[in-house]
């Protein structure tokens, strides 16, 4: 035989059978056999790739997927905090970190309910400032008078928002209610930051909202921590700028917790000598101070019933105000009003973060 004619596409016509081993595309002949022989190795490689991908996905949860920089000098992605927020996809699955370089940002900032899992992180809380000067009664762009509830500098409506190393300030004083920070979203965290203003500085709003403040400085004059939310304050400095009231809770009936302060310090501007721990904005207000250092500006009676409210005339009968382990010159509880409470060590088992915040642990949520 001088020739071999093969019609299969994997073979070629050869004229010298001695060269069959050289001229035939042997790799093609053995392709199917090689695939079968290598299947176990291929499966191992595919499984390894899949495993690595899953691990990377799980551990990526500790790092934001989206990182945006705001800088007034143009060295970042945006010069405006609000524009940076707008750039994030609505209801997106990824976490976002907005890093804000030092500067004073004269903005009225809103994080809408369609934006969630966002962290605003300042370069330094002393030098990274969001400021505004709106107040209740001030004409807005439509010449309508503003109210307390839209006088904010920063409004947080989205869930799972975190703020770190940032100052939020309302510079309007002696004009009436002027909110610095207004929070409505759930699972809100603020750490190592400052909230500055006068009347109604921090509005911890809405019944469903759970809020956590740690290592923060909060200042104001009247009712400067107020609202319906369940909020925890840990290792915070609360500074009174006038003889007035610190808290004005409006806890919903049936809710077990309102405002709870752990290991905080109550200070005052020089000359301020008559400050109440709180008064009830609504009948079922709940506020508790645990292991708090209280300056001499805190009045011996501690709490005020907010008399003169025609809609809710006897709020002290339903409000719940309590302390445990108060210290300092204002921490003597012997002359506290009769309708307030002193907790026992046994009571403290009900005052863990997960109990107060209904199963949410902010210490695990964010670093």
Q: State yes or no: is 90 an active-site residue.
A: no
What pLDDT shows up at residue 48?
67
DSSP string, 295-322: -TTB-TT-B---TT-SSSTTGGGT-EEE
Please report the pLDDT score of residue 5 as a whole number. 40
Burial of 141 (0-12, 13-18, 19+ CB in 10 A): exposed
SS3 365: helix
State pLDDT tens for residues 49-106: 666 656 555 554 455 579 999 999 999 999 999 999 999 999 888 899 999 999 999 9
Q: Which of 223, 309, 314, 347 is catalytic?
A: 223
What does residue 156 show for φ and ψ, rounded to 5 degrees? -115, 110
Of the CA atoms within 13 Å of residue 294, those in its CB half-sphere come to: 28
* Per-residue exposure over 4-29, b if at least 16 CB sit within 10 Å of its own CB, e if not: eeeeeeebeebeeeeeeeeebeeeee
* DSSP states of 188-223: EEEES-EEE-STT-EEE--TT-EEEEES-EEEESSS
Query: Cα–Cα distance between 156 and 170 in angstroms, integer?
Result: 15
Question: Tell me: the pLDDT tens digits for 133-155?
Answer: 999 999 999 999 999 999 999 99
Interatomic CA distance for residues 315 and 229, integer angstroms: 18
Pair of tokens at residue 298 = 């805190």
**Residue partners of 357: CB distance under 8 A and separation at least 6:** 210, 212, 230, 232
For the chain, which residues score pLDDT lower than 70? 1-40, 42, 44-46, 48-64, 365-367
Domain ranges of the chain: 1-62, 66-365
How far does the chain reach from its first CA to its final CA, in angstroms?
82
**DSSP label of 146:** P
Coil, strand, or helix at residue 76? coil
The predicted structure's pLDDT at residue 26: 44
Q: Which two tokens stand for residue 246?
A: 């610190």
CA 331 to chain centroid, in Å, comes to 30
Compute how many other C-beta atoms are within 10 angstroms of the C-beta atom of residue 96. 21
Assign domain 66-365 to its CATH architecture: 3 Solenoid (2.160)
**Structure tokens that stand for 245 in this block:** 């009231």
Task: Specify the pTM.
Answer: 0.83
- The DSSP 8-state label assigned to residue 252 in this structure reads P
Count of CB atoms within 10 A of residue 264's CB?
21
Distant-in-sequence, close-in-space partners of 30: CB < 8 Å, separation ≥ 6: none
């Amino acid at each position: 035989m001088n020739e071999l004619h093969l019609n299969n596409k994997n073979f070629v016509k050869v004229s010298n059978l001695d060269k069959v081993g050289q001229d035939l595309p042997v790799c093609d002949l053995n392709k199917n056999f090689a695939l079968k022989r290598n299947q176990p190795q291929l499966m191992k490689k595919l499984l390894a790739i899949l495993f690595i991908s899953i691990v990377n996905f799980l551990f990526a949860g500790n790092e934001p997927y989206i990182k945006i920089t705001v800088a007034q000098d143009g060295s970042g992605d945006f010069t405006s905090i609000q524009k940076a927020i707008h750039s994030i996809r609505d209801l997106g699955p990824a976490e976002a970190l907005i890093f804000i370089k030092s500067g004073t940002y004269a903005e009225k900032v809103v994080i809408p309910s369609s934006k969630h899992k966002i962290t605003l992180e300042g370069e330094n809380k002393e030098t990274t400032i969001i400021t505004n000067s709106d107040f209740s009664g001030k004409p807005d762009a439509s010449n309508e008078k503003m109210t307390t509830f839209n006088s904010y500098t920063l409004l947080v409506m989205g869930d799972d928002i975190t703020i770190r190393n940032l100052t939020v300030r309302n510079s309007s004083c002696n004009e009436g209610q002027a909110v610095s920070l207004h929070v409505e979203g759930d699972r809100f965290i603020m750490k190592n930051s400052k909230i500055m203003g006068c009347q109604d500085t921090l509005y911890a709003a809405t019944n469903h909202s759970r809020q956590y403040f740690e290592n923060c400085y909060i200042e104001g004059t009247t009712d400067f921590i107020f609202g319906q939310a369940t909020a925890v304050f840990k290792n915070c400095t609360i500074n009174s700028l006038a003889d007035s009231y610190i808290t004005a809770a409006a806890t919903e009936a049936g809710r077990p917790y309102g405002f709870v302060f752990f290991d905080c310090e109550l200070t005052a501007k020089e000359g301020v000598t008559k400050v109440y721990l709180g008064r009830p904005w609504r009948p079922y207000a709940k506020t508790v101070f645990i292991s708090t250092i209280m300056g001499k500006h805190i009045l011996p009676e501690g709490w005020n019933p907010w008399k003169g409210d025609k809609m809710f005339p006897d709020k002290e009968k339903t409000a719940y105000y309590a302390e445990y382990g108060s210290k300092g010159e204002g921490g003597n509880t012997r002359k506290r009003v009769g309708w307030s409470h002193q907790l026992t060590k046994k009571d403290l088992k009900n005052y863990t973060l997960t109990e107060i915040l209904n199963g949410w642990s902010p210490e695990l949520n964010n670093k």
